[in-house]
Amino acid sequence: MTKRILTGLKPTGEQLHIGNYFGAIKPFIDLTHTEKDAEFFLFLANMHGFTQLHDPKTLKEYSLTILKLYLAIGINPNKVFIYNPAEIPAHAQLNRVLSCLTIMGTMERMHSYKDALAKGKAGELSVGTFNYPVLMAADILLYDADLVPVGQDQKQHVEYARDIAEKFNRQYGETFKVPHPLINREVATITGLDGRKMSKSYNNYIGLLDDEKTLLKKVKQIATDTKTVEESKNPDECNVYKIGKLFLTPEEDQARRKKYLAGGLSYKEAKEYTFEKMRNYLAPIQKKYHAISDEEVIHMLAKNTSHIQEIAQKKITEVYKKIGFTLS
Ligand code: AMP
């Protein structure tokens, strides 16, 4: 069977940040160039986004933004199936099946739940937030994905998808392919402006669509230590370097590292350099984004729905038969 590579992103903010981009989506794009024979699936994780976003207008608007960004950052829609799981009933159906085969304790150990808990009261969290990894497992297993490119924060969720696939296969016979997370160590956790993991919820992010003024303001906010200009600096401990290197060629990166270590580099200069590189990298993405219409992405989704629906329906039909839901 052809190798399948699948990932998806949540429309929970006005845009994607460079953590999403370098951590998950760029490795996915890179694979579309190197894995010539694989099939690629990229979904709009709006059913996940609904755990946080209940205003229909906003959810729709953010969803369209993500879809347009997929195209603007260089996803080739002729090579990658981009689709909307909310329009494919098998996602919700498999979610139901897997949630009945998963015990509460497993979900209680999940980072997504623990993170949400840390921000509020358990009783106020939605059940959808609690069993978010179950839906994610359904999203992955329906398509027999081999590889799931994600950031480090999603590793545990893909491991749960593996576990539940193995459990199902043991109990009902071989049904699901067991997926592997693909985490690129270099970009597993992209640093935010304050040195913590870059995240929409920490508001410490640089957005792919941030305009020049915002970019400059944010780069100026990157937290630094109190080393003097003359002092030698360890680039791997500097947030400006960690963020800036994402936009450099390997040669530029080597030259930068030398500059840090040699001493004589001010954080002001380091930030100006980072801003320039970032602006030049993001400008063509933003230009392309603004040229894509809502209609274009809606049409693209519609084109893919029947093929995706066919794959997902075949899998859920097999599952329903095996677990005894189908009576004929
Ligand atoms: P989400 O916004 O939760 O839908 O995340 C989409 C993808 O981006 C997932 O694969 C995450 O693991 C990845 N991601 C989010 N934040 C970061 C980060 N700071 N560093 C690396 N990957 C990230």
pLDDT digits (tens, 9 = 90+) for 52-85: 899 999 999 999 999 999 999 999 999 999 999 9
What's the CA-to-centroid distance between 20 and ligand 1, angstroms?
4
The residue whose CA has the least distance to atom 6 of ligand 1 is 9
Instruction: Report CA-CA distances (Å) from 271 to 70, 194, 267.
Output: 28, 14, 6
4-190+293-323: which CATH topology? Rossmann fold (3.40.50)
What is the Cα–Cα distance from 269 to 275, expressed in whole angstroms? 10
8 neighbors 45 (Cβ within 8 angstroms): yes
Q: Mean pLDDT across the chain, nearest whole number?
A: 96
Reported as a pLDDT band with limits 50, 70 and 90, residue 119 is: confident
pLDDT at 120 over 90: no
Which residue has better confidence, 47 or 121?
A: 47
Which protein residue's CA is at the shortest distance from atom 15 of ligand 1?
Answer: 20
pLDDT recorded at residue 43: 98
pLDDT at 201 over 90: no
* Domain boundaries defined on the chain: 4-190+293-323, 212-289
75 φ, ψ (degrees, to nearest 5): -70, 130
Q: Which of 5, 15, 16, 20 to mutate to test the pocket of ligand 1 (most atoms within 8 A of CB)?
A: 20
Query: Which pTM was predicted?
Result: 0.94
Distance 150 CA to ligand 1 centre (A): 7
Q: Please, what sign has the CA dihedral across residues 237, 238, 241, 243?
A: positive
The listed CATH number (1.10.240.10, 3.10.450.50, 1.10.150.120, 3.30.200.20) that belongs to domain 212-289: 1.10.240.10
Ligand 1 lined by 189 (C-beta under 6 Å): yes
Q: Is the pLDDT of residue 112 over 90?
A: no
Average of per-residue pLDDT across 212-224: 98
Please choose from 63, 153, 193 the residue to mutate so as to test ligand 1's pocket, defined by most ligand atoms within 8 A of CB.
Answer: 153
| Least-confidence region, from 71-75, 112-116, 160-164 | 112-116
Instruction: Say what the pLDDT of residue 176 is.
Output: 98
Question: Residue 158: is its pLDDT beyond 90?
Answer: yes
User: Is residue 52 within 8 Å of 2, Cβ to Cβ?
Assistant: no
Residue 144 Ramachandran class (φ > 0 left, ψ -120 to 50 alpha, else beta): left
- The residue among 41, 52, 71 whose CA lies nearest residue 10 is 52
Dist CA 40 CA 8 (whole Å): 11
Tell me which residue has its CA closest to atom 3 in ligand 1: 10
Provide the pLDDT for residue 1.
79
Q: Which amino acid is at 96?
A: R
